[in-house]
Amino acid sequence: MELFWYIVLMTMLTIYVILDGYDFGAGIIHLFFAKKEKDKKAITNAIGPFWDANEVWLIASGGVLFFAFPTLYASSFSGFYLPLMMILWLLIFRAIGLELRGQVHNKMWESIWDKAFGISSLLLALFFGIALGNVVRGVNLGMVTDGVSTHEPHYFFLPLWNSSFSPHAEHLGIIDWFTLLLGVIGVVALTIHGANWIIFKTNSDLNEKLKKVVFNLNSVLLILVVVSLFIWHIIEPKPFHNFITHPWLWIFPLIAFSGLFGLFKVKSFQKHGMGFLFSSLFLFGGLASTVASIFPKVLPSTNAINPDLTLYNVAAHEYGLSVGVYWFVIAVILVIIYFTIQYRVFKGKMDDVGYGEH
């Protein structure tokens, strides 16, 4: 049952990244490329009916984490308390940026909330990439100092950064050069993803320009991904041991690179949704590859005193996990019905939705 709920949790988080990821990317595009009012409205129209529903996947993932892996929930929510609070405020500012902009028709008012929407989207993409970097790198479980564990084996707390800015320090920070690299990859990947969504859902004058942006950023993304794979050897001595043991796992990197290389043809796509499909494949393949590389770990330990947190030593009791399956089936049916209706109602181009206008 632990494996079942682990797959459920990872699937929900991946869906969240793909769906809310295009909202973050659209916000970044809005910040840097939307100069005209009609372009700004086209972007908000493209994500307006979807962004709040997309955020529910994050809340639902937190619920599954609390229910199925309570030890991991307690450990991570205390250890990552500071960045989690920052992410919460960024989510709030992104939301009110979208909702309050159209309440008053004044250039200064609109400019303030445009910046709130764009900057919070940029920082959210950065922080979620950094969060992935922390999970891959691991944390100092038990707060070991000079070979002595000063707290319970699953406890840790991280400041935003440490003085060395190194992923090999005894007392780590949230941000170091390795996690920051993954944060930048997250920003670039989600900017591409958001641009593809705007191309898919609007007839904006920005679309031709965005195709060039996607092509150029994809070149940057390819370089960053290759660099991160080399650097991964510095963090983990045997980074591909699971792939060697289970060769079928190579399907996930193959999916990621298929999406990455497919995006280089964005200028020639006849169907506007193809770019979004390829960026979704990259995100899915990249996240699945990352999860597969550290499995069964869910939070590695950077010291030799306390063991890694794995899906087996952080899971709830077998009985509770079994009972939860029945409720999960009901929830899945309701979610499928909701999203089917939502995406049918708002299918096609969204230029004339008029989201946020009052």
DSSP states along 253-264: HHHHHHHHHHGG
Q: What is the DSSP code (8-state) at residue 307?
A: P
pLDDT for position 354: 67
What letters, b where the CB count within 10 A reaches 16 and e where it falls short, cover 4-24? ebbebbbebbbbbbbbbbbbb
List the beta bridge partners of residue 301.
139
pLDDT for position 18: 95
Residue 66's nearest CA partner among 316, 330, 322 is: 316
pLDDT for position 206: 86
For 105, the token pair is 């028709």
CA angle 50, 52, 58 (to 5 degrees): 110
Mean pLDDT by 10 residues, the chain (358 residues): 90 93 93 86 86 88 91 90 90 87 81 90 94 90 84 87 84 91 95 93 86 93 93 82 90 94 86 90 94 90 88 87 87 89 82 64
Give CA–CA dist 6/312, Å, rounded: 10
Residue 13 has, within 13 A of its CA and on its CB side, a CA count of 19
List the beta bridge partners of residue 297.
310
Give CA–CA dist 175/183, Å, rounded: 9
Q: What is the DSSP code (8-state) at residue 308?
A: P
Handedness of CA 245, 249, 254, 260 (dihedral sign): negative
Long-range contacts of 264-270 (CB under 8 A, 24+ apart): 264/215, 264/218, 264/219, 266/196, 266/211, 266/214, 266/215, 266/218, 267/211, 267/212, 267/215
pLDDT for position 232: 85
pLDDT for position 166: 86
Crossing angle between the packed helical segments 51-68 and 81-100, to the nearest 10 degrees: 160
* Beta-carbon contacts of residue 180 (< 8 Å; ≥ 6 apart): 130, 133
pLDDT for position 351: 67
Count of H-run helices and E-run strands, the chain: 12, 4
Give CA–CA dist 323/179, Å, rounded: 37
Amino acid letter, residue 4: F
Give CA–CA dist 28/16, Å, rounded: 18
Q: What is the DSSP code (8-state) at residue 354?
A: -
Q: Look at the block and give the residue holding tokens 């659209």.
A: 26
pLDDT for position 356: 60
pLDDT for position 191: 96
Residue 71's nearest CA partner among 314, 306, 298, 299 is: 314
Q: Look at the block and give the residue holding tokens 């994809």.
A: 218
316 to each of 71, 306, 319, 340, how far by Cα in Å? 8, 20, 8, 32
- The alpha carbon torsion through 200, 27, 205, 339 (nearest 10 deg) reads 30
Give CA–CA dist 23/325, Å, rounded: 30
pLDDT for position 144: 86
